[in-house]
Amino acid sequence: MIRKVKIENGWVRGLPAADPRITSYKGIPFAAKPIGANRWRAPQPCPDWEGELFAAEFAPIGMQANCAGDPAKDIYAREWHVDRELPMSEDCLYLNVWAPADGRKNLPVYVWYFGGGLQVGNTQEMEFDGERIARRGIVVVTINYRLNAFGFLCHPEITAEAPEAPANFGFLDQQFATRWVKRNIAAFGGDPENITIGGQSAGGMSVCAQMTSPQNEGLFQRAIVESGTFLQPYGLKFGLGPRTLKEAEEQGVRFFEALGVKTLAEARALDARVIEDKSLEWPWGCWSEAIDGVFSTYPSNEWSLHADRIVCPVLLGQTSSEFIAPPPAKDETELKALAEKCFGEDADAFLKVFSRPVTAESIAREGGVHTIDYAIRIASQQNSQNGIDQPLYAYNFDPEIPGWDHPGTFHSVDLWFFFETLAKCWRPFTGKHYDLARQMCDYWCNYIKTGDPNGLDSHGNPLPLWPRLTEEAPSRMLFADTAKPVAWPKTELEELLLKK
């Protein structure tokens, strides 16, 4: 069994995973430490090491808020953020690899970006164990990247120092790590020309950001966006930006003032904990994407509107009960004003969607739109209008989720299923859940291998056909008690929204 590999910086030794046919390599540095002069700088090359690097433990998580809250009140503390004692450090640019240990070559590669609003998150979360995917003949890589103010602060001095990389350091970390994968993954048995990038929530947003960057041509072959592509149907501002570089720089100037420093050199000399604590006083999500004209040339949530993006197959979807956007109106007068502003000559048709009498409750119920559904509809429409023949595969995740908290299909619960890691969860999942997780993981792995989720399941039997999403015959895969392809016709409201 292969437990030791030679990469560009030296030898790396891993350990058998729970299944000894898989080797795990945890905590491999892919860049120089982002400290001192490298704080708020694009990732720099990793120095070589002598002897063997024993990759037995995860590296420290990036600087962030402590996420281990009260499990009785915080669903994420119940689900994943269970350890208050995880080592945390600004020195966080490390990745992890799970690879079959039998010496196979040219295996497909899956590169994973975790979520957490670009503010929190890490690769140590127990649901991100890559072993089950690796068992299916895939090399899995999970990547750490800088978060919050460390990953997304901008400042005029930073721009003047490095105009070629003035912003989006967290995204640049992901890009740098994916380039590392392309250069080194053959040592682990992976094919550098068969890379799929994927992520969930802000990790999915990160995938969209990587698809929009002109710097990434040829870096990966396909993408998976789980609960990570959003468009607001009623013109509302998206919660995580993006901002112009000028706006982000102005925020950075104010932040330096709050820190009590006047120069970039002084800010780089501060202890990392001082910066993190001060950043937590600022609004959630204010540290996010900046349109810098270099890595980012337009907002990544508009990825599907641009035919000059990285055009590749995309598998994308959401849970059924997340990110519903109601019309910003409380009564019929406000609803009429919204109709005229957003729909113009179709204002009357929009108003007919709502029953009478119009109340705040009926407006929210009858006008609520799933922002991810809407973004996927737009992506399909744009592919058709731009003559893009690369497939979209859409899904909706809607099984019954057990537990005393009766949570519904809350944001991120599907991670247990994508990675087939339900056995690590406290919830009383039963056989049907394990069957669904196995089926979903089979689809994901088929897609990672070929760009098409269809094929055989783990038993060698054909999976139910997952049709491409097209404008002519819109359909998607419903993951409920089992996988079932379903027609996905547009509602009257969606037709109106897609016209405007």
Q: What is the mean pLDDT of residues 380-403?
A: 96
What is the spatial distance between Cα 226 and Cα 484, in angstroms, rounded to a whole number? 18
Strand-pairing partners, residue 195, are 109
pLDDT category at 55 given cuts 50, 70, 90 is very high
* Segment (H or E) for 486: strand 483-487
Q: What is the mean pLDDT of residues 159-182?
A: 98
- Domain limits, CATH 3.40.50.1820, in the chain: 4-321+368-487
* Segment (H or E) for 316: strand 314-319
The model's pLDDT over 88-114, given as tens digits with 9 standing for 90+, comes to 999 999 999 999 999 999 999 999 999
The model's pLDDT over 326-343, given as tens digits with 9 standing for 90+, comes to 999 999 999 999 999 999
Q: Which CATH class is domain 4-321+368-487?
A: alpha beta
Please report the pLDDT score of residue 82 as a whole number.
Answer: 82
Q: What is the mean pLDDT of residues 33-51?
A: 98
What is the spatial distance between Cα 105 and Cα 111, in angstroms, rounded to a whole number? 17
Please report the pLDDT score of residue 122 as a whole number.
Answer: 96
Please report the pLDDT score of residue 239 as a whole number.
Answer: 58
Quote the mean pLDDT of the chain: 95
The model's pLDDT over 274-323, given as tens digits with 9 standing for 90+, comes to 999 999 999 988 999 999 999 999 999 999 999 999 999 999 999 999 99
Does the structure show a pLDDT above 90 at 83? no
Please report the pLDDT score of residue 237 as a whole number.
Answer: 65
Does the structure show a pLDDT above 80 at 67? no
Please report the pLDDT score of residue 68 as a whole number.
Answer: 65
| Number of neighbours of residue 223 by Cβ within 10 angstroms | 23
Q: Whole-model pTM?
A: 0.97
What is the spatial distance between Cα 97 and Cα 25, in angstroms, rounded to a whole number? 5
Does the structure show a pLDDT above 80 at 238? no
What is the spatial distance between Cα 420 and Cα 127, in angstroms, rounded to a whole number? 8
